[in-house]
Structure 1
Amino acid sequence: MNILILGSGGRESAFAWKIAQSAHCEKLFIAPGNAGTTQYGTNVNIKVTDFEGIKALVLKEDINLVLVGPEEPLVKGVHDFFLADEQLKNIPVVGPQQEGAQLEGSKDFSKQFMEKHNIPTAAYKTFTKDTLQDGLTYLATAGLPVVLKADGLAAGKGVLICLTLEEAQTELTAMLADAKFGEASSRVVVEQFLTGIELSVFVMTDGNSYKILPEAKDYKRIGEGDTGLNTGGMGSISPVPFADAAYMKKVEDRVIIPTIEGLKKDGVPYKGFIFIGLMNSNGEPWVIEYNCRMGDPETESVMRRIDSDFVDLLSGVAEGNLNEKEIIISPKTAATVVMVAGGYPGEYLKNKVITGTENVRDSIVFHAGTAMNGNDVITTGGRVLAITTVQDDIFSALQQATADASRIYYDGMYFRKDIGFDLL
Structure 2
Amino acid sequence: LAGIEFSIFALTDGKGGYALLPEAKDYKRIGEGDTGLNTGGMGAVSPVPFFDEALRERTVREIIEPTIQGLVKDNLPYQGFVFFGLINTTKGPKVIEYNVRMGDPETEVVIPRLETDIVDLFVAMHNGTLDQIDVEVTPRTAATVMAVSGGYPGSYEKGKVIEGLRDFEGTTVYHAGTKPGEQITTSGGRVMAFTSFGADKDEALAKSYAALKEVSFDGMNYRTDIGFDL
Q: TM-score range by the shorter chain?
A: over 0.9
1:406 aligns with: 213
Deviation at 1:309, TM superposition (A): 0.8
Deviations 1:239-290 (A, max 9, x none): 0011101001111000001001111111111100000000111150100000
1:304 aligns with: 112
Any conservation in 2 of the 1:342–1:414 contact (CA below 8 Å)? yes
2:102 aligns with: 294
State the alpha-carbon separation in 1 of the partners of residues 131 and 66 from structure 2.
Answer: 17
State the alpha-carbon separation in 2 of the partners of residues 391 and 335 from structure 1.
Answer: 8
Deviations 1:310-357 (A, max 9, x none): 111111111211122342100000000000001000001211111212
Deviation at 1:370, TM superposition (A): 1.2
1:250 aligns with: 58
Higher helix share: 1
1:227 aligns with: 35
Q: Which amino acid aligns with 1:408?
A: V
Trace 1:383-402 onto structure 2 (pairs within 5 A).
Answer: 383-402=190-209
2:124 aligns with: 316
Q: In structure 2, do the counterparts of structure 1 residues 333 and 283 end up closer, same or farther at CA, with 3 Å as the change threshold? A: farther
Q: Which amino acid aligns with 1:237?
A: V
**Which of 1 and 2 has higher RCO (CA within 8 Å, sep 6+)?**
2
- Measured on the aligned residues, the alpha-carbon RMSD in Å equals 1.1
The structure having more radius of gyration, on CA atoms, is: 1
Deviations 1:180-215 (A, max 9, x none): xxxxxxxxxxxxxx1110010100110121111010
State the alpha-carbon separation in 1 of the partners of residues 91 and 152 from structure 2.
Answer: 34
Trace 1:63-212 onto structure 2 (pairs within 5 A).
Answer: 194-207=1-14, 208-212=16-20
State the alpha-carbon separation in 2 of the partners of residues 319 and 368 from structure 1.
Answer: 32
Deviations 1:91-136 (A, max 9, x none): xxxxxxxxxxxxxxxxxxxxxxxxxxxxxxxxxxxxxxxxxxxxxx
1:379 aligns with: 186
Q: How many residues align?
A: 229
Higher strand share: 2
Aligned residue for 1:390, secondary structure, equals strand
1:366 aligns with: 174
Where in structure 2 are there 5+ consecutive unaligned residues?
Answer: none
State the alpha-carbon separation in 2 of the partners of residues 343 and 357 from structure 1.
Answer: 22
State the alpha-carbon separation in 1 of the partners of residues 91 and 207 from structure 2.
Answer: 30
2:143 aligns with: 335
Q: Which consecutive aligned stretches of 4+ in structure 1 deviate over 3 angstroms post-superposition?
A: none
Q: In structure 2, do the counterparts of structure 1 residues 397 and 265 end up closer, same or farther at CA, with 3 Å as the change threshold? A: same
Q: Which amino acid aligns with 1:315?
A: V
Q: Give the percent of matched residue pairs that are identical in Structure 1 and Structure 2.
A: 54
2:133 aligns with: 325
